[in-house]
Structure 1
Amino acid sequence: MNRVFRFVLYFIVLITLASCSAGKLGRDALLSHEIGEYYNAIEKYRKASRKEKDRDKRREYAFSIAECYRYIGDYEMAALYYRNAIRRGYSNPIALFYHAEMLRASQDYEQAIENYRMYLDTIPGDERAQAGLEAIRKTQEWVANPTRHIINPIKEINSRESDFSPVFVGGRDNEVIFTSTRKAATGKKESMITGQDYADLFKSTFSIQRQKWETPQLLDENLVVNTGDEEGAATLSSTGEQMIFTRSRYDKNQSLGTELYSASQSRGTWSDPIKIQLVGDSIIAAHPALSPDGSVLYFVSDMPGGEGGKDIWKAEKDGGTFVNPENLGETINTPGDEMFPFVRDNGELYFSSNYHIGMGGLDIFVAREDEDGNWTIENMGYPVNSPSDDLGIAFVEGENKGMFTSNRKGSRGDDLYEFMVPPKIYRVEGEVYDKETREKIDGATVRIIGTDGTNMRMRTQDGKFQMKLQPETEYVFAAFKEGYLRDKATANTIGLEDSKDFRFELFLTSTDDPIKIENINYEFGSWELLPESEAELDTLIRVLVLNPTITIEIMSHTDHVGSDEFNFDLSQKRAQSVVDYLIEKGINPQRLVAKGYGETWPKTVTRRLASQHDFLNRNDELTEEFIMELSEEQQEIARAINRRTEFQVLSTDFIERFDAEPEE
């Protein structure tokens, strides 16, 4: 009995000790979590969870581990632990929301949508969940309609560790400074936030001969800028001589805050960095970005007066320092985090956010400010953004290319990617044909007039011509050759988002032979034009406008049915109806003659007509005798061909004369 009692007492003591041990680990984990040591907190939470017997506490630990993974950007692990907490009965619906967010970042959109809806059933109308559903819809839209950016990882620079926040020296594309936790970094301590070694600033130059980036080296081998603490996220003056960078200091692994420092370079040597006094102690000041003229410093901080989370602020330069920090406001800043600002030489502000509608994690946005100081925000879309974290963009000065950071699939952590937007190329290729024979016309002249001032001529070779076009320009191409009527086409590059090739055919009509006006129809036995005839007559008007020196005869023909007198009279009135319509539309009557030919001018079969009707041959004349030899069906086709309206060019030297206004 005594032995049993001792065993029970021993067992109780073990349980008590284990409970005390688990409780201490849990409190330590919570402390690390609260001060932002997320990686350290994860390990402590795990140990506490393994020793903890209380199911409620283990459920809480699972949720807290998920939170820490979310903070350090490991969205797949965060999704795993959120799901674990939910399955164990975690009651706060926020777990459903964040699980949906992590599933979205992991591209499990179907399950993410289900979780968002479950969360909305509990918290109806929640804006964050509605934004998450909208983000999934927008993501699918962005992927289906990618931007013109071409992106590639920079293999020569990237390491197995984190490489991020590039900045070009002097705005040129041949030297870059970036932040890295690679093994060559001087800070060998493991970050309690990320679990990686402390970061340092590195540099790399582009070898023109090798056409590749050189192996990165420490920016400062004298360890004036790089120290045993963490350095990174830098910005440079336009000349590259001044650098402002982020430094996180530690004392016995305890964070002393994140601050901004300034250093200058002379003959390759950096001066001792000087702290920029912008915010109070224990408040974050990080991710600096200078305006192109150096008069404004943008940075990230969690100081009071923001919109929540980390915000982007700006400070004006006064003498040799920056003063009076000002929050950029709710259009840019949100209850989430806005970080990694960059100001392009055209004044556009780029930054990353995990709250504005995006593809998942951090997305890169561009903000444009109007004359009244109002900002317009735009997501950069796919492929710059991805469901993972995309941040720290930098442009080469004056060009649409640069680098940014991403941990998207295929990356080994945070990697540097180069991007470029290829120039828009617009080309036109045209061919000039004889409208009747369909043969290409060699030596035709093409005149090109553009709204950018272009006014030139070129000749076709084997009936073809081609040229490059300028962006944001409207062009008119007019082809002409002696003995032919002109034709024209237009091309417009205004507002085009992508390169484009324009291809068109121009058809010149010979002035030697009558030209049929297609689809001219009248009331039966009448000269009243039917409404459907107007479209083709409007085409004839365009021909007359395009060829202002020609005069024409409108020729109307009937078939052989009916008396000669009736057919002459009907055809004359029909020809006059066409002339009246043209005059009504503004054509000078001096350029027009109406002539009815009745049945006296049977149609001679052209090559095109012969190709359309297998019972006809080229040069057949559709006389009454010829038609009567055909079948009844073929006769109706032949009579319809004879019932036609044509025009014949009479002269090509007409000059418009305007009568002088009478004197009063």
Structure 2
Amino acid sequence: MGMKLIRLALLFLIVLFLASCGASKLGRDALLAHDIGEYYKAIEKYRKASRKEKDRTKRMEYAFSLAECYRYIGDYEMAALYYKNAIRRGYPDPIAIYYNAEMLRAAQDYEEAIENYRIFLDSVPGDERGQAGLEAIRKTQEWVAHPTRHIINPIKEINSRESDYAPVFVGGRDNEVIFTSTRKAATGKKESMITGQDYADLFRATFGIQRQKWEEPKLLEENFVINTGDEEGAATLSSTGEQMIFTRCRYEKTQAMGTELYSTSQSRGNWSEPIKVQIAGDSIVTAHPAFSPDETVLYFVSDMPGGQGGKDIWMAQGSGGSFSNPVNLGPVINTPGDEMFPFVRDNGELYFSSNYHMGMGGFDIFVANTNEDGEWVVNNMGSPMNSPGDDFGIAFVQGENKGMFSSNRKGSRGDDLYSFLVPPKIFQASGEVFDKESGNKIDGVTVRIIGTDGTNLKMRTKNGKFQLKLQPETEYIFAAFKDGYLRDKAAANTIGLEDSKDFTFDMYLTPTDAPIKVENINYEFGSWELLPESKVALDTLVQILIFNPTITIELMAHTDHVGSDQFNFDLSQKRAQSVVDYLIEKGINPQRLVAKGYGETWPKTVTREMASKYDFLKRNDELTEEFINQLTPEQQGIAEAINRRTEFRVLSTDFIQKYDAEPER
């Protein structure tokens, strides 16, 4: 019985030893795969090693390494799960808390993400990464609350269950696109140790005019010239579509040999044998090429020495079909994180994706322009172009504000292609012209439109209405005029407007066949001195005279019936003159002005507007002394105030300003 127990104990120790050896080997294999970027393979090895490992510290380390691998392949949900596991097991480096916060942010769990950022900052006070994470949450909420005008949609006819990404338009046209895909039709049938999917190939899709939809994508070519047993993808095309530079990742016995750029050209539908682009050292990773609009510069991605950290965007000048002397785009574009998938639009804007610049989570798409000093200025494209997931690989249709990009945002089946479109801004002006006295619409009014873009148009109202399409970034003045009326004007301004807008306005023409009251003209009691508030009202009259330069007017001052006739006449004359003096002081030609005091001799006739304001008055009532004496004391005060008024009437409409001739020199 004793020997049996000893044998069992020895057997148990042997099993433990073998298990420990197995776990150690799996851990070493996982680490090797991790180091060379085979994250999918590393995940399998780490998980197996973790299941066999008995040492708590090593299991904690495996949890952190698993989280890192999942983060690299863009599976942020699983990454957060393993970061939490590592933290729970006591992972000593606060970086695990930081990355957990990053993954939670990508999953839109902002409340828990904020808590983790704060815990991280408690451990590493003042760390820029933690502060940037908190700011990114604030900015994300701002971007979502104020989206751009982009309209985006998944391209269901092109997308597959596998990864589809990095589109490029053939010849810059919107009816043919080349993109990268790991779909089942790919020629590389081996499973990538990086993604766990089949090796990627280049595919082509064309837009069917008759069916108005994308046709089923096909391999770019099937003769193993471009698409081989290795991985191909992320291409750029010349403006004609005849030359292509693409990324190829070669494998040797399933081990990645690094990524390189290859160049090929097309003749009569056939692609030439690709030639490696000698742009960096043989052992240097180069990927994600992008031509400049004139094809004299090649942008690409590399982790070669001399960068800012991670993967950077570089540029190389072309000469005789080759590119050399690569230059890093510098710290404004490149960061300690990864910047990838460059694209240069025909207007010179540089687009790229980054997981370090301030973003919504994962990779975001950024646009960079140069300022007056030739320095880069980088901006996040905002929502809805970016999401908490990975957004990358953008391409524009030449000359248009539309195109495609790649995203694994919520609702995607992996990396999917999305179309985007910025609809044109439409600005419309519509107006109605009314008779200010009667309220009726006026037909046949001439409306003149002057715009800062050189617009100079005339149109006539039909049924009192007019309508016009406006141009962006333009300021407009609308002037309405008709014989027998004072002119009116309106303005519209489309400068700086981010969205379409309809401008609607009503214009009122004042008839000149009756006196026109100047509102809010007040004097000191029993005096002709203008009160300060009257001058504000008179400035409106100044503008009327400036806007109607051919009219001459009579300024008419009226009093109520209180006081002697002679006193009221003298007072009204002086009041009329004080108004004329003010208008002359403001630059109005004296020849256009006549001052006339009427005392109490011209009682006011009630207008439609007055009748609607005071229920004891009817239209066309004349506010004579006899009429007023029949009213209540309160009503009498109102009627007398109406009679105390300053008006003007148009005397002529053919005044021509005369200027003195310049003296001879």
Same fold? TM cut 0.5: yes
1:14 is aligned to 15
Q: Decide which moves more: 46-55 or 267-276.
A: 46-55
Say yes or no: does 1:38 pair with 2:36.
no
Query: Aligned partners of 2:238 and 2:434: how far apart in 1?
Result: 60
Q: Matches of 1:575 and 1:134 in 2, distance apart? A: 65
Counterparts of 2:394 and 2:319, CA distance in 1: 27
Whether the 8 Å CA contact 1:257–1:281 is kept in 2: the answer is no
**Is 1:646 the equivalent of 2:647?**
yes
Shift, 1:18, TM fit: 1.8
Q: Which amino acid aligns with 1:581?
A: Y
TM superposition shift of 1:90: 1.4
- 1:318 alignment partner in structure 2: 319
Q: 3-state SS of the aligned residue for 1:485?
A: coil
Offset at 1:662?
5.8
- Cα distance between partner residues in 2 of 1:309 and 1:522: 78
Give the TM-score normalised by the residue count of structure 2: 0.98
Tell me the SS of whatever aligns to 1:350: strand
CA shift digits 1:202-257 (9 cap, x unpaired): 00111111100110000011111000000000000111111000000001111111
Residue correspondence of structure 1 range 128-167 to structure 2 within 5 A: 128-167=129-168
Q: Write the distance in 1 (CA, Å) between the matches of 2:487 and 2:246.
A: 66
Could you list the runs of 4 or more consecutive aligned residues of structure 1 that deviate by over 4 angstroms after TM superposition? 661-664
What corresponds to 1:620 in structure 2?
621
Query: Within 5 Å, which residues of 2 pair with 1:265-304?
Result: 265-304=266-305
The aligned residue for residue 193 of structure 2 is 192
* CA offset digits 1:21-77 (Å, max 9, x no partner): 222211211111111111111111111111112222111111111110110011111
Q: Check if 1:385 corresponds to 2:404.
A: no
Report the identity percentage: 79
Aligned: 1:349 with 2:350: yes
For residue 259 of structure 1, what is the aligned residue in structure 2?
260
Partner secondary structure for residue 278 of structure 1 = coil
Q: Deviation per CA, 1:328-375, whole angstroms, max 9, x where unpaired?
A: 111111111000001111111111111111111111111112464311
Structure 1, unpaired ranges of 5+? none
What is the CA–CA distance in structure 2 between the aligned matches of 1:13 and 1:444, rounded to whole Å? 104
Cα RMSD between the aligned structures?
1.3
Are 2:191 and 1:216 aligned? no
1:534 aligns with 2:556: no
Structure 2: gaps (5+ residues):
none
| C-alpha deviation, 1:423, in angstroms | 1.1
**Secondary structure, counterpart of 1:298 in structure 2:** strand
Contact 1:606 1:619 in 2 (8 A): yes
**Contact 1:558/1:643 (CA < 8 Å) preserved in 2?**
yes
Specify the code of the residue in structure 2 equivalent to 1:450.
Answer: G
Deviation at 1:282, TM superposition (A): 3.0
Mapped contact 1:366–1:377 kept (Cα < 8 A): yes
- Tell me what 1:466 maps to: 467
Q: CA deviation at 1:16?
A: 2.2
Q: Which of 1-10 and 196-205 deviates more?
A: 1-10
Match of 1:556 in 2: 557
Structure 1 residues 126 and 608, CA gap change in structure 2 (3 angstroms): same
Q: Read off the aligned partner of 2:228 and give its amino acid letter.
A: T
Counterpart position of 2:638: 637
Q: What residue identity is the alignment partner of 2:576?
A: A
Q: Determine the C-alpha separation between the residues in 1 that align with 2:525 and 2:49.
A: 98
User: What aligned pairs does 1:37-186 form with structure 2 within 5 A after superposition?
Assistant: 37-186=38-187
SS in 2 for 1:215: coil
Structure-2 residue corresponding to 1:660: 661
1:496 is aligned to: 497
SS in 1 for 2:510: strand
Cα offset, 1:376, TM superposition:
1.2
Equivalent AA in structure 1 for residue 405 of structure 2: F
Matching residue's letter, 2:420 = F
> 5 Å matches for 1:480-629?
480-629=481-630
- What is the CA distance between 1:661 and its match in structure 2? 5.1
Deviations 1:284-323 (Å, cap 9, x if unpaired)?
1000001121111100000000010000001111212111
User: What is the letter of the counterpart of residue 252 of structure 1?
Assistant: K
Alpha-carbon distance in 2 for matches of 1:471, 1:115: 46
Query: Displacement of 1:146 after TM fit?
Result: 1.1
Distance 1:485 1:158, change over 3 A: same
Partner residue in 1 for 2:418:
417
Report the residue type matching 2:10 in the other structure.
L
Contact between 1:302 and 1:311, CA under 8 Å: does it hold in 2? yes
Q: What displacement does 1:118 show?
A: 1.2
Quote how far apart the aligned CAs of 1:419 are. 0.8
| Cα offset, 1:629, TM superposition | 1.6
- Distance (Å, rounded) in 1 between the aligned partners of 2:534 and 2:146: 42
The equivalent of 1:444 in structure 2 is 445
User: What does the per-residue CA deviation read over 1:136-194, in whole Å, with 9 as the maximum and x for residues that have no partner?
Assistant: 11111111111111111111000000000000001111110000000000001111111
Q: Describe the SS at the equivalent of 1:201.
A: strand
Deviation at 1:103, TM superposition (A): 0.9
CA distance in 1, matches of 2:89, 2:638: 84
In the TM superposition, what is the alpha-carbon distance from 1:639 to its structure 2 partner? Answer: 1.6
Bigger CA drift: 404-413 or 623-632? 623-632
Q: 2-side partners of 1:519 and 1:117: how far apart?
A: 62
Secondary structure of 1:471 counterpart: coil
Alignment partner, residue 30 of structure 2: 29
CA distance in 2, matches of 1:346, 1:332: 18
State the alpha-carbon separation in 2 of the partners of residues 409 and 662 from structure 1: 79
Distance in 1, Cα, partners of 2:202 & 2:51:
39
CA distance in 1, matches of 2:260, 2:541: 76
Q: What is the TM-score when the length of structure 1 is the normalising length?
A: 0.98
Give, in angstroms, the shift of residue 12 of structure 1.
2.4
What secondary structure does 2:467 align onto?
A: strand
Task: Give the equivalent residue in structure 1 for 2:407.
Answer: 406
> 1:331 and 1:435 mapped to 2: Cα distance?
60
Give 3-state SS (helix, strand or coil) of 1:510's partner.
Answer: coil
